[in-house]
Structure 1
Amino acid sequence: MLRKLVLAVFVAVVLFCCGCSLFPKKAKPEELLCILTIDKMTYLSNEPVLATVRVQNLTNEEISLLNLDARTVSFYRLNESTGEPLEVMPVYSEKEPMSTVAKLKGLEGMERPFLFTTLTKGEGDYLLQAFFHSSPFHGKKARPTVISEAKKLSIAGRAPYERDAKGILMKEDAIRIAKEKVGDSAEFTTATLIINEAGLYDWWVTLVLNKKDAQGQPIRKAYFINPYLAAIRKEANPWLAHPRWKEPQPAVMFKRDAMNESNIPLPAAPNVKK
């Protein structure tokens, strides 16, 4: 009996020294819930996708976290037939502050819409999933990445316009949209890709119509075309000269060392490193 008692004490000491416990520790409860929604399930190729990410504080305490933006939220599209994952970037402005810190009160939430123009390249059935890198801290204090449930979307058919590799509406389609607005033929057109006051792209299209005004001068019309939604954003001054286009330097989007996933739910693209 004494030998059994000594052996039990010895095993307990060894386990304690090895960092183990005879009593299983409870897993730390999840602090945040990430919910992804998309505006519909079926899209045409090149059609824009509007996705909304909502983050819910599951605790009763106020917590510090990063705001939702194109740097703190990563999106992956998984091809259901091939299993191939692809990181997709939403539209974002160079003027938007990134990775700013916010406070979220207990049981409250925050959300933000994200617009995609490259998500619908290629027909097929896909899954879309959001990874929210919420923690403003590093090291042991860092909070695990919060992962949304994957959302299904199907891509079939083609939208009546084309985009370049960056998801920007093609120049010819921007001119066509402007011509459809005036409902008349134009003898001269000018289209320039610019960055607007919000730090986003616009096609600035000016048309010189075949119609004449009361003084016998050709009528001019100009529009700012939203190259993400493939639609007219607003009318422009037709008498202003277009600026010369200069390709802007993209914002630096630093890669993370590793994707620190939460346990639930499992990521659709588990082998993709960030």
Structure 2
Amino acid sequence: MNLASPLLETQKLPVRGWRRAGQAVPALAIALALVLAGGGCSRVPFIGKLVRSDQALENPVEFLLRLDRADVRPGDALVAYVSIRNLTSKALTGQLPDASSIEFYSTGSGEAVQQIWPVFSSQEPMGEVRDLAPGEIWRRTFVFTTPTKEPGNYRLQAIYHLAPKGIESSVGPVVSKPAAFQVTDVRSFRRDRDGILLKEDAIAIAKAHLGRPVAEATALLVTNKAGLFDWWVTLAIDPGDLKAGEQAHRAFFVSPYLATVVQTRSAKPYPLEEQAPPLPVQITPPAPPE
């Protein structure tokens, strides 16, 4: 996935969130427990009553949620796609889909409903309002790094607020159908409690991308121009594998969200002997897997 690909023409892929999962669940979300748990899957809660999902004409917008894949490994990023379509014959004024206008909730077998947050840039404007023409569709991609920590069967569901919170509107929240996903028991990557890829795993990804013996490696978590995090990995190639006149160091930017190398050409080697600058967040490694 290209982090630079435009969404809604001008918006970028959200890849960092600042609010933690596990916060208090609003009253509307409590009704999601029945749907997420598997009871009444043909019905979705809507502004104080239950409305069948096939009664689309009662809602001015169609709100759809789907996942890029239903099977993920522990540590994988979960990528979700949402679309919002105007079902009326008139233009609607509504919020663009972002981490403030859409709430996401997840649950596993026998677990309580938990709000989870997509990752997004701290520089991204939230709550922008625009006109949605008749039949027009807004689409948005969201990335999650926290709901795949443990193996199990899960469901993800979302609530879209057409009107900004605190503003009265004749249109209530619109709830998507739940999307099921399974987390298998083979771990792919390790992440901290905020969903950030661990330093050691970022180095391992860069080493695999280089495909040559490495004598020394370092990695720094830095903030790029878009307000997103990158692991800046510098590898010192083993002297025995160097060719005459070849540069000894290679540098890569590794996405701490998607766990892939996202850039190599403009990544300059970071001096291995220098100390890392202070970071805007504290990275707390999780307990080693059993």
Shared fold by TM > 0.5?
yes
Q: Which residue of 2 aligns with 1:50?
A: 79
Q: Which residue of 2 aligns with 1:152?
A: 180
Q: Which residue of 1 aligns with 2:223?
A: 195
Identity %: 34
Q: How far does the alpha carbon of each residue in 1:27-58 deviate from its partner, in whole angstroms, 9 at most, with x for none?
A: x9311121001011111111111101111111
Output the CA distance in 1 between the equivalents of 2:198 and 2:270: 24
C-alpha spacing 1:143/1:204, structure 2 compared with 1 (3 Å): same
Q: Which residue of 2 aligns with 1:111?
A: 139
Output the CA distance in 1 between the equivalents of 2:213 and 2:280: 31
Q: Given that residues 192 and 245 in structure 1 are in contact (C-alpha distance below 8 angstroms), is that contact kept between their aligned partners in structure 2?
A: no
Q: Given that residues 135 and 142 in structure 1 are in contact (C-alpha distance below 8 angstroms), is that contact kept between their aligned partners in structure 2?
A: no
Output the CA distance in 2 between the equivalents of 1:117 and 1:140: 33
Is 2:142 the partner of 1:126?
A: no
Q: Which residue of 2 aligns with 1:245?
A: 278
Q: Which residue of 2 aligns with 1:181?
A: 209
AA at the equivalent of 2:73: L
Is the partner of 2:185 in helix, strand or coil? strand
Output the CA distance in 1 between the equivalents of 2:175 and 2:181: 18
Q: Which residue of 1 aligns with 2:18?
A: none
Is the partner of 2:184 in helix, strand or coil? strand
Q: Which runs of 5+ in 2 are unaligned?
A: 1-56, 283-290
Output the CA distance in 1 between the equivalents of 2:270 and 2:169: 57
Output the CA distance in 2 between the equivalents of 1:34 and 1:50: 17
Q: Given that residues 136 and 142 in structure 1 are in contact (C-alpha distance below 8 angstroms), is that contact kept between their aligned partners in structure 2?
A: no
TM-score, length-scaled by structure 2: 0.70
C-alpha spacing 1:191/1:128, structure 2 compared with 1 (3 Å): same
Q: Given that residues 190 and 207 in structure 1 are in contact (C-alpha distance below 8 angstroms), is that contact kept between their aligned partners in structure 2?
A: yes
Output the CA distance in 2 between the equivalents of 1:63 and 1:98: 18
Is 2:290 the partner of 1:223?
A: no
Q: Given that residues 101 and 164 in structure 2 are in contact (C-alpha distance below 8 angstroms), is that contact kept between their aligned partners in structure 1?
A: no
Output the CA distance in 2 between the equivalents of 1:190 and 1:36: 39
Deviation at 1:104, TM superposition (A): 0.2
Q: How far does the alpha carbon of each residue in 1:168-194 deviate from its partner, in whole angstroms, 9 at most, with x for none?
A: 111001111112222233222221001
Q: Given that residues 89 and 134 in structure 2 are in contact (C-alpha distance below 8 angstroms), is that contact kept between their aligned partners in structure 1?
A: yes
Output the CA distance in 2 between the equivalents of 1:200 and 1:51: 19
The equivalent position to 2:244 in structure 1, one of 208, 214, 217, is 214
Is the partner of 2:248 in helix, strand or coil? strand
Is the partner of 2:125 in helix, strand or coil? coil
Is the partner of 1:176 in helix, strand or coil? helix
C-alpha spacing 1:201/1:214, structure 2 compared with 1 (3 Å): same
Output the CA distance in 1 between the equivalents of 2:142 and 2:102: 10
Greater Cα radius of gyration, structure 1 or 2: 1
The equivalent position to 2:263 in structure 1, one of 215, 234, 248, is 234
Q: Given that residues 75 and 129 in structure 1 are in contact (C-alpha distance below 8 angstroms), is that contact kept between their aligned partners in structure 2?
A: yes
Q: Which residue of 2 aligns with 1:29?
A: 58
Q: How far does the alpha carbon of each residue in 1:53-112 deviate from its partner, in whole angstroms, 9 at most, with x for none?
A: 111111111010001001111100022x21411111111001111100111011222110
The equivalent position to 1:40 in structure 2, one of 69, 73, 93, is 69
Q: How far does the alpha carbon of each residue in 1:104-133 deviate from its partner, in whole angstroms, 9 at most, with x for none?
A: 011222110101111212111111101111
AA at the equivalent of 1:244: P
Q: CA RMSD in A?
A: 2.2
Q: Given that residues 64 and 136 in structure 1 are in contact (C-alpha distance below 8 angstroms), is that contact kept between their aligned partners in structure 2?
A: no
AA at the equivalent of 1:246: L
Deviation at 1:214, TM superposition (A): 2.9
